[in-house]
Copies of this chain bind each other. A is one copy, B any other.
């Protein structure tokens, strides 16, 4: 969206380069911790000139997030509209999502960490896009349930598991590592589709055991904070019968 009417031919090119660098800095140091001065130094431009290109700092955030969500949503819809098995479409969509995570890791960091720095209108747009993307996935999962490939389960729960598994990847992924988007997609889908699909006899005793544990071992509660205050201390109050006698 070129703002002032009338710009030289290099304007948009340079503008995109500045957003690239901004995304990189924001990802490394955080949006709040990156000053316009930092950006200027990295770009090699004084502050005044920077504003000629960027409009405002918040606007950089908007652009960075548009870069991620625009193509992703567009491609997701194309894939969802294909005329094939929902599992295949989920698998393709998974790889598509992971591809952008690998390629635009900087942007994803910013997207995930600093979206709350957006003001009302922009935030609303962003949340709408997120919701749209979720619905594409929900639809495909529902198809798979409907056709019996997946066992019945709350549809939102399946969606959230799909998203958890994929979206948290940016936290640890390395673009210079041995894994790529195709590999991770294969693995994630293998886990999810088997996990969603297998009939209910696979892990029969596990839940029984868990119930038994919780019943029989009250002194070891699963709540990590239960009795936390007294854990490190040893001042067991010397109940009856203890001590010398």
Contact = CB atoms under 8 A, between A and B. Distances in A.
Contacts of A51: none
Contacts of A207: 186
B203 A103 contact: no
A91 B203 CA distance: 11
Contacts of A195: 190-195
A74 B224 contact: yes
Interface residues of A, number: 75
Contact of A198 (B33, B161, B194, B213): B194
Interface in A22-81: 29-30, 32-33, 41, 46, 70-72, 74-76, 78-79
A210 B91 contact: yes
Given A74-B231, A116-B33, A194 B188 contact: no
B165 A161 contact: yes
A227 B165 CA distance: 27
B203 A196 contact: no
Interface stretch (A92-100, A135-143, A237-245): A92-100
A132 to B, nearest CB: 14
A228 B70 contact: yes
A161 B172 CA distance: 11
A98 B78 CA distance: 35
Given A71-B224, A191-B191, 15 more contacts: A30-B117, A32-B32, A71-B228, A76-B224, A78-B220, A79-B220, A87-B203, A92-B213, A100-B223, A161-B187, A161-B191, A164-B165, A168-B168, A191-B196, A193-B195
